[in-house]
A and B are shown apart, each in its own frame.
Chain A
Amino acid sequence: MPTKQKSSGLKEIVEREAEVMLGLRGDEVYGELDKEYENAVQKAEEELAKGKSELDDAVKLFNDTDVAAQEQIKDGEEKIKTLRETAEKEIAEAERKIEKGEKEYKTLLEEGEKQLADAKVQMEDELEKYREKLSEGRLELEKAEKTLKEKEAEYSAGKEKLLKGKEELDKGWEEYYSALRQIDKKLNDSIIDQIIRLLRAIIDPYDSAVDTDDELIDSNIDMIVDELIEMTDPTYYEIEELIDKLEGCKGRGTVSRCSAVLRIYDDLTSGLSRSVKKDFEKRMGIDEFRKGLNKLKEAIKTLDDYQKQYDQGKEQLEEARSQLDQGWAAFEDGERQLKEGQAEFDSKEAEARQQLEDAQNEYEQKKADGAKQLKNAKAQLSSKSAEADSTLKDLEEELKKAKEEYAVQKEDGEKKISEATQQYEDAKREADEKLSELKAQIDNMKSAAINPIVQTRDVNFPYVQTKSFIKALGGFFGVFTPLYAAIIAIVCFFTMTIIISEQTSQIGTCKAFGMHESEIMRKYLVFGVSAALIGALTGVQGAFAIEKFLINTMKSNMAFPMDNTGHDIIMIILLPAMEVFITVLAVLWSCHRYIRCSAVGLISGNEPVARYRKKAGGSISKSIYLNLIINNLFTDIGREVVSVVTIVVCVFLVGFGIDIKLAYEGALGRQMHDIWQYDITLTESGTITDEEKEAVKQALAPYDTLYLPITAGVISDGDSQILTSMICVDDKDEFARFYVLKNPKGKNTDVFDDGVLVTKEMLDKNGLSTGSTVSLVSEDLKYSDVTVKDIFMLYAGKTMIMTSDYYRERFGNDPVSNTYYIKAGETGGAATLKERLSELPGVSSVELTSNLRDRNLAVVNVYNAVVVIVILFSVMLSFMILLNLSNILVAHRMRELLTMRVNGFYDAQVIGYLTREVIMTVTLAVVTALAVGLPVTGIIIKSIETDAFMFVRQPYFFAWTASVVINVLFSAIINFIAFRKVNKVPLTDISKY
């Protein structure tokens, strides 16, 4: 260790030099002390003079303020007077206006009442006239109704008479038709047809129209035979003529037909008449028939006359009815007009009365409004008047208060000036006392011997802190830089390989077009190197940004500025160079693999040949799915390994990131809550007076406290120096109430009478083992050797605990109590108590135990930032890799997936097939990550601990569970993105894969 030897030699030289210098420069030092004293005297005088000047300024300010206040009071009085006068004037004006309004109101009321009375009289007159007209109309209508009723009675009598005539007429017609039916029965078209048939049989018995089976002919055969016997030519023609005549009689009315047939009968010639006439007579009874027919003819004449009379009567009655109907219609019209008139009258009367009532209401409304306005005006006047009085009273009250306040303030000011004067006098006296004390100390120092102690930078707090940060960051990045480099190498290699693997068809085409292998390779090299360079430059730029971010986070806690720190140029070049190298390697490897294949094979996708199983063998499982997935994993081992490694790294980084944060904060938490059993630490100033001590004691009297000596010490172990706190304990039991001492095994330990306790952190980092002896320098620079008796758990700070007796034994003097451990009691009371105690004189510092985290906020922030960066970058890199891998998985399996879909697998089943494979991969990766990550994290955490701080070194279950959950979700999201396209590819594309 040349550096340490160098520093050790330097320390010895400085120590020797110090002793020489002390000898040589003793007088010079004393002279400087005198000079310092004089400077202190001068400074005190200057401070006092300054105080006096401030006091004089305060007196002047008091006097000026007094004059200004008196002027303000006077202004207020004048203002109130002016306001009162204005208000009285305005009220008088308002009263005058109200009086005028009342007069106008009364006049308007009188006019309104008169107009209303006139309108009422006019309306009643008009209504009376209308009513008279209606009465006249009603009388005329009653008269017309009476006449109409009389005529109606006459019409009814006529109608009755006519109906009687009609009855008789109908009876006559009935009889006539009865007789007519009898006649018709005797001679109808059928009978004429019979006669004709007979006649035809007579003139031509062999005519085809004559039916020989006719009963009529059978029954009259004798007559026919007779006629035939006597048949002559003329007779024949006569019968034919007769038949024609008879045919002409058919289809006529009964009377006309019968008359025509009688006429034919009468005209029958003698030659023919014999048998035929006989037949006629036999059939009809000619005489009787003729009589009946004549009677019918007469009856119809009589009936026609009666019918005419009836029709005339009926016509007259109908005319009368029409007149009556007209009369009734006119009557109804009149009645309707009367009703309309009445309705109009009613309507107009109601309307007129409504108008009058409206006018009355309007008048009443206006009357009420006027009264209300007047009342409001009066009320408003009264209110305004009262308001003005109240305002004036308030102003007077305010003035009175201002006067009182002025008196109080004046008295207060006078009192404060008096107090300030007293303070000035006290300060002057105190300064004189302190100067005398200083003078005494200098004199004392001059008479005492001086032992030099050279402190190395190990006891310089900023140095130690900076060194710790450097160590922590160095440890952190010492682990993560290679890790990231490995990930970047994987990303570069894999991405480039994928890009080129997707170019197989183009490579085949290039080959087919005659490009040389070197030309194809050059093309992809240019592409790969340019992409890698762009990535590298962007990455370096990003790294500078992250560096700046980290420095900004840390610099508030650093003892020196970090703005212009240098850079490690080699590292800056090395990593991008590695990235370019890996990319080139990937391009060469991939191109070489594809260029070896034939152009046709590359274009068709048949080359390079996929590495599927080429050996027959038994199935691993009975489940086809499981066999398929396991075989898939083995077939695609390259992708699988990269997937597992990526997930392992991601799980590790996220788990580590959260764990380290929890380990740091856990350490703070354990110290604040499990070890320290008090709430506040109060440290007295080195110059505290007895009175001040008493005041502090009084202030802490209500609280549970422990008063003990805590000083700084330096452990000198050979060449190294360790700055530590020394706690001296008088009452072990009492101390145990405030401070829990446990050894690393978790068992309670105690303060020893013959040695000291040191922290686990000191054991680990400073090599202070149990039983060893170390050289200790007390705060008053006395040396002594102490023995380490045991180790206790403390996470923040280096601390040594011993009994007061042991201290006395080792250093020859009593330790001076200067620190209180205080239990504040109720929740939230600690902060208030701290504020109160801080104001006490003679108190150096008051710290809440809960402030430990705030004091280490810079480190917490650094870890937060680092954790965020680590997780962010892990996630980004993993996202790229895993998404690529998932996309490749889908692309490689697309033919299988489409075949499954075509064969009727549901979309969910197809995704399930892929998901099973992913689950297996993720499970494998998570188990590996936990198996490797947990021990590695323990080692890394130990290596990045800062000086005087120890993390909780046990792994946090939450951290690793969270990491696993995050990564599982993360994988699920990535695969969801990648697998989404599976069901979107149309089934018809199956031939394309």
Chain B
Amino acid sequence: MAFKAENIQVLYKIMQLLEGDQSDTLESSISDAMEILIREFKAESGALWLKNRDSQHIYSIVSIGDANITGFSIENGQGLIGAACESFEPVVIYDVSGDDRFPAGKDEITGIEVKNILLMPMQLRKEVIGCVEIFNRTDNEKYSEDDISLIHSFAGLASLLMDEKGYSYAPDVNKKPIMSLRGITKDYPSGLEVAHILKGIDLDIFENELLVILGESGCGKSTLLNIIGGMDSPTGGKISFDGRDFSRPSTKELVDFRRDSIGFIFQAYNLMPNLTALENVQFIAELCKHSGSAKEAIDMVGLSDRANNYPSMMSGGQQQRVSIARAIVKRPRIILADEPTAALDFSTGQEVLELIERLISEKITTVVMVTHNVEIAKMANRVVRVRNGKISSIRINSWPMHAADLVW
């Protein structure tokens, strides 16, 4: 199997990513490597599907590109994916128009518009354990033999890695989406032009999960967080919250939403400097419909002995704990945390993350966290990477790390 020089470089990068940092989660490594692959073929999106023997289902464990495919599953043998996961040969369709497996040009399972598609089976020894899906190549080029070899190699390496790490995807099938975002766009006037900050985001936020949004500065992750938190409104797209359409809420609905359904943890804590820790929590608790006890919230974050201290008398970590207590006292559906550890040193940052981990493990609420720190993403249930106003990848951490084990 002879590779072109460029493909050798790509394969080398992929191998580095898959085998490089041992501390990375498997999903994270595969996600990064697959991103390279998708970029190489100028495809809009891609996904990695994995079979599960117990449930007799195939699950999408990594999703790359515009289309969000994570969380989808199909029965073994069903549809094109099912067929690809039974076969040893790749399936390539250069034009799906007229193909009855793509009604109205859309994928039957995901409902995503498809123009062209490649499905490469993931073979492990003599068994097919899943497949790699690449679709909507924008350059409309045909896959050369060399390209197919490259994708085949990626599929093989990914299979070996899974086998080596004893990876098995165990989906939580009972997860319900609290909020769904579809085709979310956000434009801002920038001088005489319009800056497109978000360019069509599809995202589900599930109950009791820690969703981490990663991305470089200016990629749109904070804007996305603001839209989720009702602090900003999208230019286009649909939002549903608890199954209800929440795309164009009135001002009152928006305030009530922030008041009763969303908790906030800020990087700079944003406490009222002239209220004690307890009063800071009470101040918000008195506002909400279904708030909990402020004292219990303070107890939960371990600040009972400092309840009557003013923020200026507390360390950054303690202030951030008050901030968390203030968020959880509302009993919100989602807590939004914007770089909660950015202003803290390692150990206090870790304490704060442990507290957030506890919120998830005790099923208290869902946390959506924006961070620059890729290490923190390892404790997330799902990691959404935003790039240039779009979701470039979503990966599921089957075995998220504990906050105490993180090192940065």
Contacts and interface: CB of A to CB of B under 8 A. Distances in A.
A895 interface: yes
A628 B275 CA distance: 6
Contact of A612 (B256, B273, B286, B288): B273
B149 interface: no
Contacts of A618: 308
B260 interface: yes
Q: Among B266, B270, B284, which residue has the most Cβ atoms of chain A within 10 A?
A: B270
23 contacts: A612-B273, A612-B312, A613-B310, A613-B313, A614-B312, A616-B308, A617-B308, A624-B283, A628-B279, A898-B270, A899-B264, A899-B266, A899-B270, A899-B271, A903-B258, A903-B259, A904-B257, A904-B258, A904-B259, A904-B262, A988-B222, A990-B270, A991-B266
Contacts of A988: 222-223, 226, 231-232
Nearest to A905: B287
A627 B310 contact: no
B231 A987 contact: yes
Interface in B38-93: none
Contact of A904 (B232, B279, B282, B288): B288
A750 B272 CA distance: 72
A543 interface: no
B273 A904 contact: no
B276 A619 contact: yes
Contacts of B262: 904
Contacts of B256: 904
Given A610-B273, A613-B274, A624-B286, A987 B232 contact: yes
A259 interface: no
A902 interface: yes
Nearest to B231: A987
Given A624-B275, A627-B275, A991 B282 contact: no
B269 to A, nearest CB: 9
A825 interface: no
B27 interface: no
Contacts, number: 97
Interface in B262-300: 262, 264, 266-268, 270-276, 279, 282-284, 286-288
Contacts of B287: 903-905
A613 B273 CA distance: 8
Contacts of B274: 612-613, 627-628, 631-632, 635
A905 to B, nearest CB: 7
Contacts of A905: 255, 259, 287
B232 A899 contact: no
Contacts of B308: 616-618
B255 A624 contact: no
Contacts of A873: none
Contacts of A991: 222, 266-268, 338
Contacts of B311: 612
Interface of A: 610, 612-619, 624, 627-628, 631-632, 635, 895-896, 898-899, 902-906, 986-988, 990-991
Interface of B: 222-223, 226, 229, 231-232, 255-260, 262, 264, 266-268, 270-276, 279, 282-284, 286-288, 308-313, 326, 330, 338
Contacts of A902: 229, 231, 258, 264
Contacts of A899: 264, 266, 270-272
Nearest to A903: B284
B108 to A, nearest CB: 39
A632 B276 CA distance: 13
Contacts of A627: 274-275, 279
A613 B276 CA distance: 10
A986 B189 CA distance: 14
Contacts of A615: 310, 313
Contacts of A906: 255
Nearest to B284: A903
A895 B275 contact: no
Contacts of B276: 616, 619
Contacts of A898: 270
Given A624-B286, A904-B288, A906-B255, 20 more contacts: A610-B273, A612-B273, A612-B310, A612-B311, A613-B310, A613-B312, A614-B313, A624-B275, A627-B274, A627-B275, A631-B274, A899-B266, A902-B231, A902-B258, A904-B257, A905-B255, A986-B231, A986-B232, A988-B231, A991-B267
Given A619-B276, A903-B264, A624 B231 contact: no
A99 to B, nearest CB: 92
A43 to B, nearest CB: 91
Contacts of B283: 624, 628
Nearest to B312: A612
Contacts of B279: 619, 624, 627-628
B143 to A, nearest CB: 43
Nearest to B272: A896
A635 B313 contact: no
Nearest to B266: A990
B318 to A, nearest CB: 13
A121 B381 CA distance: 117
Contacts of B231: 902, 986-988, 990
Contacts of A895: 268, 270
Contacts of A619: 276, 279
Contacts of B258: 902-904
A847 to B, nearest CB: 68
A924 to B, nearest CB: 18
Contacts of A628: 272, 274-275, 279, 283
A84 B240 CA distance: 105
Q: Among A613, A614, A617, A635, which residue has the most Cβ atoms of chain B within 10 A?
A: A613
B310 A616 contact: yes
A316 B105 CA distance: 74
B1 to A, nearest CB: 51
Q: Among B232, B273, B283, B308, which residue has the most Cβ atoms of chain A within 10 A?
A: B273
Contacts of B275: 624, 627-628, 631
Nearest to B269: A899
A982 to B, nearest CB: 14
A988 B308 CA distance: 31
Contacts of A635: 273-274
Contacts of B223: 988
Contacts of A631: 274-275
Nearest to B275: A628
A631 B272 CA distance: 11
B303 to A, nearest CB: 12
A991 B222 CA distance: 10
Nearest to B327: A903
B213 to A, nearest CB: 15
A422 B345 CA distance: 121
B228 to A, nearest CB: 12
Nearest to A904: B259
A618 B229 CA distance: 35
Contacts of A617: 308
A390 to B, nearest CB: 83
A894 to B, nearest CB: 11
A614 B223 CA distance: 36
A895 B284 CA distance: 15
A616 B272 contact: no
A338 B276 CA distance: 114
B282 A624 contact: yes
Q: Among A624, A627, A904, which residue has the most Cβ atoms of chain B within 10 A?
A: A904
Q: Among A624, A632, A905, A986, which residue has the most Cβ atoms of chain B within 10 A?
A: A624
Contacts of B272: 628, 896, 899
Nearest to B282: A624
Nearest to B229: A902
B57 to A, nearest CB: 41
A759 to B, nearest CB: 60
- List the 5 closest pairs (A to B, CB-CB), nearest first: A904-B259, A631-B274, A987-B231, A899-B270, A904-B258
A707 B271 CA distance: 85
B338 to A, nearest CB: 7
Contacts of B255: 904-906
